[in-house]
A and B are shown apart, each in its own frame.
Chain A
Amino acid sequence: MAIIIDEKTDVIIQGITGKQGSFHAGQMLAYGTKVVGGVSPGKGGQEVEGIPVYDTVFAACEENQVDASVLFVSAIFAKYAAFEAITAGVKVLVIVTEHIPLHDEMEIVEFARRNGTTVIGPNTFGIVSSGKCKIGIPPNQFFVEGPIGVVARSGTLTYEIVGNLTANGFGQSTVVGLGGDRVVGLSFIDVLEKFEKDPQTKAVILVGEIGGNAEEEASLFIKEMTKPVVAYIAGKSAPPGKRMGHAGAIIERGKGTFDGKVEALQAAGVKVATLPFEVPDLLRQVLK
């Protein structure tokens, strides 16, 4: 029920004593996430929102069962923070940090792959199994339990879409933020595969954007899926050659265009919304 994380997932927060880390520690606890510890070198022994702080990830793992870690560390330190968690045997890594150097991202993803660690992000809002566990930064009130899986490259746009779904009576099984960067851990296909196998998920919303070919690749898998997929792709009005915020959102050398993605998805039987607020209507259609 739900994918990757659930009500039993034990989470640590790397960078817990920083401004973002400490704020979101409180928010995650309020959502019901089992935050068992935090890591901040040199601050071991302190407490944040009642959560014990450790000097190293290994120390946190010695005293607790740790299933996942979320990184609230700066871009310059992110690579080794990730390496530390992977080395200590943490199996799910959520990297919220934006602006991690591309070469560091490739190294993180490669090291994680060799160690069987699932990486979500970088540059992600995180992952929410609605009603069970939230790892990351999205606002608590819009995520309500239900049968819709959501997988997205963007952050606040996804909140908009999830907010619309909830308002229309469509709760979510799990909402996964892949992250906006060019190289990320989990891809659309990885998550779609999990949704296809998850008994709680009855349909999937895919939120994509211009740049790269993740949506085109996903289309090949979607053809084989039994569960319906509705998509929204952002960036229709984006000019080529200009990076639209996310490191990965750029149309280069004719590749990664809006039209290319929409065509590929429609060919796979996906209903593609022209605008974000159309998603619930399309969902209603495919669930009939």
Chain B
Amino acid sequence: MKLFEYMGKDLFSSYGITVPRGRMVTTPDEAAKVAQEIGGTVVVKSQILAGKRGKGGGIKFADNPEEAREATSQVLSMVLNGHKVEKVLVEEKIKIDKELYLAITVDGSAKKPVIIASIQGGMDIEEVPDEHIVKQHIDLPMGVPPFLCREISRRLGLTGQVGNEFNSLLPLLYKLFREKDAELVEINPLVISGDTLIAADSKVTIDDDALFRQKDIPYVEDRTNIEKQAHDLGLAFVELGGDIAVMANGAGMSMGSLDTLSHYGGKPANFLDAGGGTGMEGTVKAIELLLQTNPKVIFINIFGGITRCDDVANALIQVKKAREIPVPVVIRLVGTNEEEGVRIIKENGMEAYKVMQEAAAKAVEIANAN
């Protein structure tokens, strides 16, 4: 779950990490009020769950409350990178002497948290050459003790008061990372302003699987309508925009189905992992979801281990009886209770395939013919 910048900054603040003075607002009037409180030049920053806001004009400066009102009015009507802007963060413009990069994330390969830091802040970290990136894995039982902070400061060339500030900040960031079940905490840029370090931006992602124990953090929706419905049903769903609706049991199986359909020239409408052991009710709901993508054909690919082929077949027939399925369905059934599943499909006037690539080719043929 990605957090908006203002939410991440609130978290930083609560852990003792300095952020620019400011507040999130949703109207131009509120923006003017905040600008008045802060005094002087402010920055009006669109709050969306995507980067590159500046390029789209989503970050504006304002020298007085009236300009802040005007800038907010403009920004609130924008759609940046496909995201509608509904909130802005109005904050003080800070003096930037230098920009650093600091992040803590999980290195899957090392199976540990890792600190990533660089003196080239304020730009895309992917474009910073490796020689300018400092990486330090964190041993979980040890955490981030003072010596580790001093060493990272040294590698970044930070000295004096700024060095001390960095050594205080890093353990706080790590504490936040661990206590809030974060997948990523990123400060880019971490600004050196005189002798102080200020987190000028914030990118925090909370582990979706840990939300049950992070109830203090408000839920941030980042899914499309259909994706949200799927999630509420316990299904993994991604919209892809094509015309062949796809359902498979298992994430790898779903990806494999998409790959095979694409190979034959088809355009999948979605990724849907109906999961193992979804049962009939879940399968009915999954098929209903697929129909919302307005496909030309539905492709169901089941290799049943824990998933039973007869469950899937019965679900399909149930949906057919309850409401018309306005498009052809190509179904492939192999595995547990395969014979029973195929029998049910045939009894209802449909074909059931055994070989995945044959079923996929048929689905593509139907989609491209219409």
Chain A interface residues (CB < 8 Å from chain B) = 20, 23, 75-76, 99-103, 106-107, 109-110, 125, 137-139, 152-160, 163, 180, 182-184, 187, 207, 209-210, 212-214, 217, 232, 234-239, 242-249, 253-254, 274-277
Contact = CB atoms under 8 A, between A and B. Distances in A.
Interface stretch (B67-75, B249-257, B341-349): B249-257
B111 A138 contact: no
B106 A245 contact: no
Given A183-B108, A246-B252, A100 B209 contact: yes
B112 A110 contact: yes
Interface in B113-128: 113, 125-126
A228 to B, nearest CB: 22
7 contacts: A110-B111, A110-B140, A155-B305, A156-B305, A156-B307, A159-B305, A183-B108
- Smallest CB-CB A-B distances: 8 pairs: A154-B252, A245-B251, A156-B250, A157-B252, A234-B255, A101-B210, A156-B253, A139-B305
A155 B303 CA distance: 10
Contacts of A243: 236, 238
B109 A213 contact: yes
A157 B256 CA distance: 7
B276 interface: yes
Interface in B250-267: 250-256, 258-263
B312 to A, nearest CB: 13
B213 to A, nearest CB: 7
B66 interface: no
Contacts of B4: none
A103 B305 contact: no
B268 interface: yes
B121 to A, nearest CB: 16
Contacts, number: 166
Contacts of B252: 152-158, 180, 207, 209, 234, 245-246
B106 A275 contact: no
Interface string B88-99: 000000000000
Contacts of A210: 255
A254 B127 CA distance: 11
Interface string B353-368: 0011100000000000
B1 to A, nearest CB: 11
B256 A106 contact: no
A217 B111 CA distance: 14
B228 to A, nearest CB: 14
Nearest to B125: A253
Contacts of B108: 182-183, 212-214, 248
B260 A275 contact: yes
A187 B109 CA distance: 8
Contacts of B207: 101-103
Most central of B183, B253, B357 by chain A CB within 10 Å: B253
A50 to B, nearest CB: 21
A20 B249 contact: no
Nearest to B235: A245
A109 B112 CA distance: 9
B336 A249 contact: no
Given A213-B109, A277-B356, 12 more contacts: A102-B106, A103-B210, A110-B140, A154-B251, A155-B253, A160-B253, A180-B251, A234-B252, A235-B258, A238-B255, A244-B271, A246-B251
A236 to B, nearest CB: 5
A247 B236 CA distance: 11
A154 B252 CA distance: 5
Nearest to B212: A76
B268 A237 contact: yes
A102 B259 contact: no
B277 interface: yes
Contact of A159 (B271, B273, B303): B303
A106 B126 contact: no
B218 to A, nearest CB: 19
Contacts of A236: 258-259, 262
Given A101-B210, A155-B276, A276-B356, A182 B106 contact: yes
B189 interface: no
A165 to B, nearest CB: 13
Contacts of A235: 255, 258-259
B304 interface: yes
Interface string B72-83: 000000000000
Interface in B271-292: 271, 273, 276-277
